[in-house]
Amino acid sequence: MVLKSQLASAGALLLSLPLAAQAQEAPDADARAEKTLAQMTDAEKRVLLYSRMLGFIAPAKRPADITLGAGYVEGIPRLGVPPLVETDASLGVSNLMNLRKGDVATALPSGLALASTWNPAILRDGGRMIGSEARAKGFNVMLVGGVNLVRDPRAGRNFEYLGEDPLLAGTLVGAQIEGVQSNNIIATIKHFALNDQETGRSSASVNMSEAAMRESDLLAFQIGIETGKPGSVMCAYNRVNGQYSCENRFLLTDVLRRDWGFKGYVMSDWGAVHSTESILAGLDQQSGEQLDKKRYFTTELDKALAEGRIGQPVVDTAARRILRTIYAHRLDADPSAGKAPIDYDANGKVAERAADEGMVLLRNEGELLPLARSAKTILLVGGHGDIGVLSGGGSSQVAPVGGFRKIEKAGSGIAATFARRGYGGLAPLDALRAEFPGARIDYLDGSDPAAAAAAASSADIAVVIAEKYATEAEDQKDLGLGDGQDELIAAVGAANKRTVVVLQTGNPVTMPWRDKVGAIIAAWYPGQRGAASLAGILSGRINPSGRLPVTFPADAAQLPNPVLPGSTLPPPSKEDKATYGIQTDAPPFDLEYPEGSDAGYRWFDARGHTPLYAFGYGLSYSRFTYDRLKVSGGKTLRVSFRVTNAGARAGADVPQVYVRIAGKAKRLVGWDKPVLAPGQSKSVTIMADPRLLADFDAAAQRWIVPAGDVSVEIARSATDPVLTGTARLARSEIKP
């Protein structure tokens, strides 16, 4: 259990309601589900077991006044059971392919930006905001909570997720889910499990030992489920050790229900069901049934029931779980108010606060930043900075308030069927002009590096926005920025050493020009008002406090898989597509992760690799010192220390606590994010979750904390320890 004290300390910026004030589950959910189930006909029970994509259904045949979105489950009006109206996703109410013509929503910054805040309160406030917009638009299920670990920095959906560490990602996703569900709607956590790359997402089998997956990807889900209590888990496309996630009894019954006590329901991903027998493994609802080869949970289920291959009690169990979740989150008592007014201004400020804390200052030579207010001429180059900011493609893409100013088809293969490259939200050029009213700010699109260099040579400051698009259903070929941007940056940096590079990317990237520029900011996909955050960091109105939730490799050779698994395979055959479904983009293959549970910085630590930028790294305009370290061991680990703002301005720091157990890679066991005035100090206490000190013993089915000494680091990043200590742990065992 992640201790409340740790959660509270991790989310020290009390920007949101205390945990107790969040909407908890209605206490009578189980009894009500039982009562309703007893009144339902068998046919009515089966109605709950599948969703359809209304956008695929002729308007005349669609139910009236239901908001078009990702999926729709009929209700049972005679018993007051509401329909389930589902929308994507973690970054706001998405509107893939403009399904709801012209509909917009507030766009949060990307998942990696949210994770860079290391602040659960930001995730909770963001979740509460996007959940309120979902409800206002008529949705009561929000397909959020993407928490797959970033194992390969080239994976296409990393921008949606919350980084490479299970404690950080699990803690943050739990807060996001809590925020979404505080609107009395159901949130998911997804994609369960090990869907950590796009290549082969439908045809690959991710093969990993139980111990390794329990200590990494599954631990992120476990922490997220414990702290966020999602109503639903979405099982993933890929196979795990040879068996599809959505028919994997080990995952859906042994781990999720027997070990973790999950009481909600499991929905499939869209096009991820391959049998009716999936229901026997623990799948409760086939999602977007039109994408699957068969109507497994309707016509095929009727056959299986008639032939006795599946018994009615199995259907009752699935229906009961869905009913219980509807009642637990008050969907019937507090029906989603369709078409309610939305305060987009107020919601834009929530997105802006997230971007304020989510941008990471990576380099600031000679304290180039913050820019002197006296800067008279600023040149802005590239990144479509004159029209808006970039967002990632796929099901999580939000059409921002104000709409896309530019949108075009993007991606290749499967992604080309739905991916869009879009720019919208507050434009960086407008934000800079508002922030520096006394300066002349010119813009060049960056297509002519020589012209950009010439213009930069006569400007006080040059700001280059470099961008790299990422999308669901397609991984990235390499870690480079591409499109001649490295050359552009090198040319501008050579022309003016006062050059700032702003990385608008969905992933870590390489930076061959790093030593040729003065400052670098990882802005990720900044969201609705992230350009104001960028301008604020450049001017110093905002003191950057972001820390990397992912490792930036120096090059791909440092990675566990230097070549992205499956990326060299030929296209899938017709038989492959027939076997593995319409989302198949590669022949079947075994996907191995050599790092096992040592994803990200743990791999770099185990191998002694020096990254370009480390997990947990980020600069501030303040300076923070740590002292008074006390460490005590025994059954678990208690670490206390003091943080002091030794700088001249208020700011937030993110001191991190890492533990190294003999012979193993270091692990993050806690952090805090104190906001301190100059000279102010705060004492921090972290109690480590014992599972983070343990290895999982699959034979014994126990977490085992070994007896012995552990070293403890209070650090600025995974590679920058400041204080060190040791403690002696007693051996202990924890059930899964």
Q: Which residues bind ligand GLC (CB under 6 A)?
A: 70, 88-89, 143, 190-191, 269-270, 395
E strand spans, 606-677: 624-632, 638-645, 651-652, 656-661, 667-671, 675-676
Q: Whole-angstrom Cα distance, residue 199 to residue 683?
A: 46
Report the nearest approach of ligand GLC to the CB of residue 196 (Å): 13
As measured in angstroms, the least distance from the Cβ of 475 to ligand GLC is 14
Burial 109-118 (b: 16+ CB within 10 A, else e): bbbbbbbbbb
CB of residue 87 vs ligand GLC: minimum separation in angstroms? 9
Q: Which residues contact 58 (CB under 8 A, 6 or more apart)?
A: none
Cβ of residue 190: shortest distance to ligand GLC, in angstroms? 6
- Class of residue 432 by CB neighbours under 10 A (exposed 0-12, middle 13-18, buried 19+): buried
Judged by beta carbon, residue 414 or residue 637, the one nearer ligand GLC is 414
- Closest to ligand GLC by CB, 173 or 379: 173
- Collect all residues with Cβ–Cβ distance below 8 Å to 159 and sequence separation of at least 6: 110, 111, 112, 392, 470, 506, 507, 524, 525
Please say whether the beta carbons of 105 and 92 come within 8 A: yes
Q: Of the two residues 291 and 652, which places its CB atom closer to ligand GLC in the complex?
A: 291
Q: What angle do CA 730, 733, 736 make, to 5 degrees?
A: 145
Cβ distance to ligand GLC smaller for residue 115 or 712 = 115
Closer residue to ligand GLC, CB minimum distance, 51 or 119: 51
Give the angle subtended at the CA of 236 by the CAs of 232 and 238, to the nearest 5°: 165
Q: Is the dihedral of CA 561, 567, 573, 576 positive or negative?
A: positive
Q: Length of the chain, please?
A: 736
- Closest separation between CB of residue 130 and ligand GLC, Å? 14
Cβ-based nearer residue to ligand GLC, 137 or 353: 137
Q: Which residue has the tokens 């008074």?
A: 628
C-beta of 234 vs 488, nearer to ligand GLC: 234
Nearer to ligand GLC, 417 or 458 (CB): 417
Nearest approach, Cβ of residue 269 and ligand GLC (Å): 5
Helix (H, G, I), strand (E, B) or coil at 725: strand
Nearest CA to 3 out of 675, 682, 637 is that of 637
SS3 assignment, position 271: coil
CB-based contacts of 469, cutoff 8 Å, min separation 6: 390, 392, 393, 410, 421, 506
Residue 460, C-beta contacts closer than 8 angstroms, at least 6 positions apart: 375, 376, 377, 378, 439, 498
Q: By C-beta, is 99 or 454 nearer to ligand GLC?
A: 99
Beta carbon nearer to ligand GLC, 70 or 213: 70
CA distance 68 to 85: 8
- Name the minimum Å distance from CB 361 to ligand GLC: 31
Give the integer Cα–Cα distance in Å for 408 and 281. Answer: 41
CB of 326 to ligand GLC, least distance (A): 19
Q: Please state the closest distance from residue 293 (CB atom) to ligand GLC, in A.
A: 16
| Nearest to ligand GLC of 237, 703 (CB atom) | 237
Residue 472 Cβ vs ligand GLC, minimum distance, rounded to whole Å: 6
DSSP per-residue letters across 289-338: GGGSSS-TTTHHHHHHHHTTSS-HHHHHHHHHHHHHHHHHTTTTTS---T
Q: Distance between CA atoms of 348 and 533, rounded to whole angstroms?
A: 12
Q: Which is nearest to 48 in space by CA: 251, 267, 202?
A: 267
**Alpha-carbon span 162 to 274, nearest angstrom:** 29
Q: Report whether 286 contacts 268 (CB < 8 A).
A: yes
Between 143 and 686, name the residue whose CB sits nearer to ligand GLC: 143
In angstroms, what is the minimal distance from the CB of 652 to ligand GLC?
31
CB of 143 or CB of 283, closer to ligand GLC: 143
Whole-number minimum distance, CB 139 to ligand GLC, in Å? 12
Nearest residue to 507 (alpha-carbon basis) of 199, 154, 162, 165 = 154
- Smallest distance from the beta carbon of 157 to ligand GLC, in angstroms? 8
